[in-house]
Structure 1
Amino acid sequence: MGVTIKEVAKAAGVAPSTVSRVIADNPRISPATKKRVRKAMKELGYHPNVNARSLVRSSTQAIGVVMPSSADKALQNPFFPEVLRGISTVAHDLEYSLLLSTGETEEEILEGVQRMVHGNRVDGVILLYSRLKDKVMEFLHEQNFPFVIVGKPNENIDTISHVDNDNIRASKEITEHLIGLGHHRIGFIGGSKDLAVTVDRITGYEQALNQAGLPVKKEYRVHTEFLKSGGRKAVHELFSLEEPPTGLVISDDLMSIGVINMLEEFGLYVPEDVSIVSFNNVYMAEVTRPPLTTVDINIYDLGAQACKCLVEKIQNKNEPAKRIIVPFEIKHRMSTQQWKRETSKRA
């Protein structure tokens, strides 16, 4: 049987009600008494009951973090550990714990979120994705439950707090980099078409092509998973075309690594035969061969800002919805070069 509040009270020389108030961080309890009670709790190995603490404080001091898929799949991509690092750093500083929710399907993810909300397991939720017509986002919005999206909501953009980059501008600028190097046949490899980030990056890519007077070819666009295997699949499609691209805009660094590996199987090399640009600037982008020219979206800051924004909403129910745009920066490395038709193997 675990240690009880009465035992802690006896060891600290206070009433059990005082121990409860210390657990609730009641401002009326003096710092000296709090220190003495917490010392007794630590020595006796007492851990407050989360449910009981919630009743006292009307707070779980916990934040739910919702992944877009199963942890096994999502955590293969360095984006998610890095955004979680930003969230957890701020959560720790503000004395919140994290509850991670995943699922193989949208229904499983929704069920997990419903359990968190209806079971009073968390004070608020961070969604690590933004999907078109997302049932989870609709549920949270209908429940008027505090939540923040890392990404851009497709609907109710003015009433849902979200933390994002200007993905349209970022994609336009990185595509213009390839155009400036003389590439006229530029492909796009992105994630699912129901993800807001994919829609925005396609928009920026097409804006750059249209502005340069270049054709927007449907066959140059491939949608696949944000995994290395997704990049390999995309190469099969694009480089089986009669006139394949000479440059690629790829929505994720992990995809890019798969692209580089598969291109070599086709006898093509980056950047000699194909120039590629990417997004995220995860740790592997700088050490892969060749190092990737990529958009640094400041993943850590996306997570940190999302957590700060959510805690503000939790602590003040009247906090207005916010749109926080985290700046991006293009990191120019060695995965692109001037297109020289006469020296290419595909000339």
Structure 2
Amino acid sequence: MAITIKDVAKAAKVAPSTVSRVIADHPRISEDTKKRVRKAMKELGYHPNVNARSLANRSTQALGIVMKSSADKALQNPFFPEVLRGISSVAHQLDYSLYISTGETEEEVYEGVQRMVHGNRVDGIILLYSRVDDPVANYLLEKDFPFVLIGKPHGNMDKVTHVDNDNVSASRDITNLLIDEGHERIAFIGGDTDLVVTLDRMQGYELALRESGLPIKEDYYIHAEFLKSGGREAVHQLFQLDEPPTGLVIADDLMSIGVITMLEEFGIKVPEDVSIVSFNNVYLSEITRPPLTTIDIQIYELGNQAAKCVIDKVCNKEEPAKRIIVPYHVMDRSSTRDIKDASLN
């Protein structure tokens, strides 16, 4: 049962109107009374409604944005500014503001989402990730709060509106590009294994290898953060093997840039010595040397569609769950080499 202002008032031994004035930080309320009321609010777990002075049925005209980690770390990856650009375009047209979570830890992110929901700070929430057994998604489902997920849900597929690419097929296609060029020793560098996008891209990689009769080697799997530093760490491990790979499937462009930088330090050239394929087609993928062959997942469109879906859910609580699949495209550039032709020369 939800805690009310009356419950706080009773615990603090004041009138409900005094609690309202404390929430509004009214100057005529003494500091002692404010401290007593705020202590009661904290002990009871009461989250004030930031729009309590507005009409009860008034919309906040705000959408919550939740990232998988702190905003400071997440925004290092160009994926997030671009997906926010797609969300913002729809929000601006429909006069919604954005409220971005800023927790430094998973616990802080979760608590921030609770405050969004309990405090009625936003009308709906967009999760910019999909995690295995994610407590945030489970909480929003439990509260029946309007939310949309960018990615494929780990569970409750029929209950969660989500906007995604077919990452299994995309990864299969990009891995087959290397196989068609004669590569047999192909490694996979992915993100955290509790992220559904990592699992899907790994599944597509394995599917392509099996269909081509190529072995799946445990030593050829590396998992790190979707950051430049993650790619650098992967090179250390893979290129100290007795049989290093000739091809790399990397689950994120920013990681790929870290890989290329580290390979240069090892004296290994791309694509002369090793071919690289990647995902996301962020703006850096075109200007890196060499330009990356990558999957364009249409990041802007993912954000655009997610914003439309969550606003639909906000406007109509009975809106059924939807699955929106944004098409992907292979951007064939200069980071791979056909080694079949080289072996014939």
User: What TM-score, normalized to structure 1?
Assistant: 0.83
Query: Would you say the 8 A contact 2:50–2:120 is kept in 1?
Result: no
Partner of 2:127: 127
What's the CA shift string for 1:114-151, capped at 9, x where partnerless? 00000000001000000001000000000000000000
One-letter amino acid of the counterpart of residue 176, structure 2: E
Alignment partners' CA distance in 2, 1:239 and 1:103: 36
**Number of aligned positions between the proteins:** 295
Partner of 1:83: 83
Alignment partners' CA distance in 2, 1:263 and 1:339: 19
Change over 3 Å in CA distance of 1:50–1:93 after alignment to 2: farther
* Residue 54 of structure 1, CA deviation: 4.6
Alignment partners' CA distance in 2, 1:121 and 1:50: 6
Partner of 1:55: 55
One-letter amino acid of the counterpart of residue 306, structure 2: A
Alignment partners' CA distance in 2, 1:140 and 1:342: 54
One-letter amino acid of the counterpart of residue 126, structure 2: I
Change over 3 Å in CA distance of 1:284–1:105 after alignment to 2: same
* Structure 1 segments of 4+ aligned residues over 3 angstroms from their partners: 340-343
* Residue 266 of structure 1, CA deviation: 1.1
Alignment partners' CA distance in 1, 2:261 and 2:54: 51
What's the CA shift string for 1:97-129, capped at 9, x where partnerless? 000003222211100000000000000100000
Alignment of 1:166-315 (within 5 A): 166-315=166-315
Query: Would you say the 8 A contact 1:181–1:339 is kept in 2?
Result: yes
Query: Would you say the 8 A contact 1:68–1:102 is kept in 2?
Result: no
Alignment of 1:316-327 (within 5 A): 316-327=316-327
One-letter amino acid of the counterpart of residue 257, structure 2: I
Q: Secondary structure at the match of 1:55?
A: coil
Alignment partners' CA distance in 1, 2:80 and 2:54: 29
Identity of aligned residues (%): 69
Change over 3 Å in CA distance of 1:124–1:329 after alignment to 2: same
What's the CA shift string for 1:57-90, capped at 9, x where partnerless? 4310100000111111100000000000000110
Partner of 2:145: 145
Q: Secondary structure at the match of 2:339?
A: coil
Query: Would you say the 8 A contact 2:126–2:150 is kept in 1?
Result: yes
Partner of 2:19: none
What's the CA shift string for 1:243-282, capped at 9, x where partnerless? 0100000001000000001011111000000000000000
Query: Would you say the 8 A contact 1:62–1:99 is kept in 2?
Result: yes
One-letter amino acid of the counterpart of residue 267, structure 1: G
Partner of 2:328: 328
Partner of 1:69: 69
One-letter amino acid of the counterpart of residue 296, structure 1: D
Alignment partners' CA distance in 2, 1:53 and 1:222: 53
One-letter amino acid of the counterpart of residue 159, structure 1: K
Alignment partners' CA distance in 2, 1:133 and 1:271: 39
Alignment partners' CA distance in 2, 1:95 and 1:53: 21
Partner of 1:155: 155
Structure 2: stretches of 5+ with no match in the other structure? 1-48
Alignment partners' CA distance in 2, 1:136 and 1:342: 51
* Residue 339 of structure 1, CA deviation: 1.7
Query: Would you say the 8 A contact 1:278–1:292 is kept in 2?
Result: yes
Alignment partners' CA distance in 1, 2:103 and 2:218: 32
Partner of 1:106: 106
Q: Secondary structure at the match of 1:231?
A: helix
Query: Would you say the 8 A contact 1:193–1:223 is kept in 2?
Result: yes
Change over 3 Å in CA distance of 1:50–1:236 after alignment to 2: same
Change over 3 Å in CA distance of 1:54–1:206 after alignment to 2: farther
Alignment partners' CA distance in 2, 1:111 and 1:216: 41
One-letter amino acid of the counterpart of residue 322, structure 1: K
User: What TM-score, normalized to structure 2?
Assistant: 0.83
One-letter amino acid of the counterpart of residue 148, structure 1: V
When the two chains are superposed, the root-mean-square deviation of aligned CA atoms in Å is 1.5
Structure 1: stretches of 5+ with no match in the other structure? 1-48
Query: Would you say the 8 A contact 2:181–2:340 is kept in 1?
Result: no
Q: Secondary structure at the match of 1:139?
A: helix
